[in-house]
Chain A
Amino acid sequence: MGSNSISKMAARHLRILSGCNGALLSVRFFSDSTLAQEPIASTAIDSASVSPSINTAENHSQLNNNKKHSAPSSLKHAELAKFSAIADTWWDAEGPYKPLHALNPTRLAFIRSTLCRHFRKDPYSARPFEGLNIVDVGCGGGILSEPLARMGATVTGIDAVEKNIKIARLHADLDPETSTIEYCCTTAEKLVEEQRKFDAVIGSEVIEHVADPAEFCKSLSALTVSEGATVISTINRSVRAYATAIIAAEHILHWLPKGTHQWSSFLTPEELVLILQRASIDVKEMAGFVYNPLTGRWSLSDDISVNFIAFGTKNS
């Protein structure tokens, strides 16, 4: 792909940016994930750029060289303090997570249609996922987990950030239909160690924040039962995505704080299909999300050049 040189340039550009700012803090606003990379510096943390991140065991060893490590205890305090400022806003539909709330019905429509077809459930039922075990990897505040529970699924939501899990639990307890969701502050790898298995594994807007996507896919695959479903949504590593998700969304429109996404860690659909294949998952369907600025709504389309979602099944 000719985008390679551009990707190197962009990666370098971002590294320079991050050096200037001091702290490249990446927590997704477009996404639910908190399997984020470690922050660069403990000092000079810009109070305007919010999103802190929490170390995860496996990311520690795979960090970029020019990121400095700092004593976890002092950092945790500062990060948590900052995080609590925005963690409240998870469920504020007009707040910083607004794009994610707007995207939610669209990705749920895709998930509903592919899972209903795969598990042969009645698409006209109000609770089609009754009897299915689903795990939402990188659930954040539970924006995706709650509708899945309302659709009848037995949902487990996991996130590496403790605060997110707290918020998710508090919000889910408000509605009797969602209070059955099991929230855990853990990682996909730890769940694999516990030998948990699920009928459907969903990692929406997570994989672009993970240090090793191939390993992540292997973990997701290990969590899926044989003939189960895996759904991953992310942003394409295309020039158009750079213009839209990074320049427009972060720098011009300020939908996301600068540094939320790193273009170099985006995956192209071909790469995603390949690493999923290596993890014994066959991608069966793929769709794109397209945003209409006039109506302010997202819709499903064949255009996978910016945001896309893939549905795959686990080989037996």
Chain B
Amino acid sequence: MNRIIVGRLSVNVSGLRVLQRSFCSSVAEKESEVKQSFTNNDDQYDVAVVGGGMVGMALACSLASMPLTKHLSVAIIDSNPALGKSNFIKKEDPPDPRVSTVTPATISFFKEIGAWQYVQQHRHAYFDKMQVWDYTGLGYTKYNARDVNKEILGCVVENKVLHSSLLSCMQNTEFRKTIYPSRLTSMALLPSSSSISVDSTPSATTLFTKGHLAKLDLSDGKSLYAKLVVGADGGKSRVRELAGFKTTGWSYSQNAIICTVEHNKENYCAWQRFLPAGPIALLPIGDNFSNIVWTMNPKDASDCKSMNEDDFVKILNHALDYGYGPHPKSISSGSVDMFSWFRGDATLSAKECFEVPPRVVKLASERMVFPLSLKHANNYVSKRVVLIGDAAHTVHPLAGQGVNLGFGDASTLSRIIAEGIAVGADIGEVSLLKKYEAERKPANIVMMAVLDGFQKAYSVDFGPLNILRAAAFHGAQYISPLKRNIISYASGEQRLPLPLPLFT
């Protein structure tokens, strides 16, 4: 009983300690009300997820789905009003231009947490083929899911569908979550109230009485306390700023323009053409719709945004087809003898010819423009704070990996939290969180380096480099082990591009 009093009031502790010592020799009574008296404090949580976007909600869902973590109390801080209500996405709505390509690894994650069934109730498009080429017309690569004995390469889903599926998944569990519809203004590590100790040296107390809980102040004046603060609040993360994590990065001096377009026929293939100013990607969304992500320099992007729709459709078709350069020549299977010794068990797609992407008939949504940059937090964790998703890393959209890295972070973090709880650890301990960082940071950095490398390699129009790129296309197209490796890595099945034993 005395222990509660010591914790709650700052009274003369030494007197109470004498009492406690004498209790030891007799059988002390065990109280179970202690826990309740602390949690009478309604605003104390185990985990506070700042940012209720796709990655933040995926983490919450994942915690809700595992037996070891489903008893945790979670606060979600996001000022987006959509979080509070059950979302109704009408089937007739045209597709939103903000979409994400989810890799098979992410699809498995969603299935594990029970959210994929909700995605399947809305518009989503699996694709099993991909064609990549550039404007020089010197080479192309076709990927097929059957090259690695899989059914799909990925699935394109609107962000709002992913988000609402995660929300629905969470609502159907008994998970203790509270949504705070406001924004984080400040954060501090709270010292314990029992910091007064009469008979021990000051250094003993200062070392560990700091930082038992983190205190979060919100913009509507409320405050809450948490053992662990998860920063899932995107590229301009406030948590990252408040926690003092430094970042490395640069802006790409490119903007991406995105929109939804419509075709006359169905499309099950993902297309990407590298143009001198940046790649243009055409991704199937389903129902004859596709999503366009076109990277170009900022001035052209704003021109494209403001021009009228018909002109925009014309230049889109131009960019996908004959614009900027010729079509690559399809190489029929008989004549490439120099690659025959690489072939081994040749992939199905090695024999496929170059195809022209489907023609865009009309624009089906407004055009949006986003600046592109690379950013990486130097550290993902500190005491009681951890970053996931775009708060930790932002990448170029050219390979559709960004949000998949974020989902990978969420999956790993929830697993690490479960492992910590299994051995009774304090979930805000740096040593536990460092395990998450040790797993995700190398994988994220490698992916960012690969994508950044591609971005730089494809933005230079220089004869010898063009030939090199063509050789790279041919290599990926015909060297089967390389192609399989690329597909596995891009699907999220493989953590690193090369099988380095040290990191696995």
- Give the B-binding residues of A (Cβ under 8 A): 84, 87-89, 91-93, 101-102, 104-105, 108-109, 112, 124-126, 146-151, 154, 163, 166-167, 169-171, 173-177, 179-180, 182-186, 194, 196, 294-295
A125 contact from B67, B199, B201, B208, Cβ within 8 A: B67
| B1-23 interface with A by 8 A CB criterion | 3-4, 6-7, 17, 20-21, 23
With contacts A174-B212, A175-B212, A183-B24 known, is A147 near B423, CB below 8 A? yes
What are 29 A-B pairs with beta-carbon distances under 8 A?
Answer: A87-B204, A88-B201, A89-B207, A92-B207, A92-B208, A93-B431, A105-B420, A105-B423, A105-B425, A108-B423, A109-B423, A112-B423, A124-B68, A125-B68, A126-B68, A147-B423, A147-B425, A150-B425, A163-B200, A169-B17, A170-B208, A173-B3, A174-B194, A174-B212, A176-B37, A177-B35, A180-B31, A182-B23, A183-B24
Q: How far apart are A121's CB and chain B's nearest CB, in angstroms? A: 13
Point out the residues of chain B lying under 8 angstroms from A148, CB to CB. Answer: 424
In the complex, A83→B319 CA distance in Å?
74
Point out the residues of chain B lying under 8 angstroms from A179, CB to CB. Answer: 3-4, 6-7, 34
| B423 and chain A: residue at smallest CB distance | A108
Point out the residues of chain B lying under 8 angstroms from A93, CB to CB. Answer: 429-431
Q: Is B27 an interface residue (CB 8 A)?
A: yes
Point out the residues of chain B lying under 8 angstroms from A166, CB to CB. Answer: 197, 199-200, 204
Inter-chain contact A112/B201, CB cutoff 8 Å: no
| B68 and chain A: residue at smallest CB distance | A126
In the complex, A104→B35 CA distance in Å?
24
Q: Is B149 an interface residue (CB 8 A)?
A: no
- Give the A-binding residues of B (Cβ under 8 A): 3-4, 6-7, 17, 20-21, 23-25, 27-28, 30-31, 34-35, 37-39, 67-69, 71, 192, 194, 197, 199-201, 203-205, 207-209, 212, 420-426, 429-431, 438, 502
With contacts A126-B421, A182-B24 known, is A84 near B35, CB below 8 A? no
Point out the residues of chain A lying under 8 angstroms from B30, CB to CB. Answer: 154, 180
Point out the residues of chain B lying under 8 angstroms from A169, CB to CB. Answer: 17, 20
Point out the residues of chain B lying under 8 angstroms from A294, CB to CB. Answer: 502
Inter-chain contact B35/A176, CB cutoff 8 Å: yes
Point out the residues of chain B lying under 8 angstroms from A184, CB to CB. Answer: 21, 24-25
Point out the residues of chain B lying under 8 angstroms from A146, CB to CB. Answer: 424, 426
Point out the residues of chain B lying under 8 angstroms from A170, CB to CB. Answer: 194, 197, 200, 204-205, 208-209
Point out the residues of chain B lying under 8 angstroms from A105, CB to CB. Answer: 420, 423, 425
In the complex, A89→B28 CA distance in Å?
29
A108 contact from B39, B209, B424, B429, Cβ within 8 A: B424
A180 contact from B23, B34, B205, Cβ within 8 A: B34
In the complex, A88→B197 CA distance in Å?
13
**Which of B192, B422, B431 is most buried by chain A, counting CB atoms within 10 A of its CB?**
B422
Inter-chain contact B424/A174, CB cutoff 8 Å: no
Q: How far apart are A83's CB and chain B's nearest CB, in angstroms? A: 11
> Sorted from nearest, which 6 A-B pairs have the closest CB atoms?
A147-B424, A176-B38, A184-B24, A150-B424, A108-B423, A124-B67
**Which of A174, A175, A180 is most buried by chain B, counting CB atoms within 10 A of its CB?**
A174
B422 contact from A101, A109, A167, Cβ within 8 A: A109
With contacts A91-B207, A173-B192 known, is A126 near B423, CB below 8 A? no
Q: How far apart are B437's CB and chain A's nearest CB, in angstroms? A: 13
Q: How far apart are A13's CB and chain B's nearest CB, in angstroms? A: 35
In the complex, A179→B30 CA distance in Å?
11
In the complex, A151→B208 CA distance in Å?
21
In the complex, A170→B39 CA distance in Å?
20
Identify 4 new A-B residue pairs, CB closer than 8 A, beyond the known A89-B207, A124-B68, A174-B192: A109-B423, A126-B421, A163-B200, A176-B38
Inter-chain contact A88/B34, CB cutoff 8 Å: no
Inter-chain contact B194/A176, CB cutoff 8 Å: no
Point out the residues of chain A lying under 8 angstroms from B203, CB to CB. Answer: 88
In the complex, A148→B425 CA distance in Å?
9
| B424 and chain A: residue at smallest CB distance | A147
Q: How far apart are B20's CB and chain A's nearest CB, in angstroms? A: 8
Inter-chain contact B3/A151, CB cutoff 8 Å: no
In the complex, A196→B31 CA distance in Å?
19
Point out the residues of chain B lying under 8 angstroms from A295, CB to CB. Answer: 438
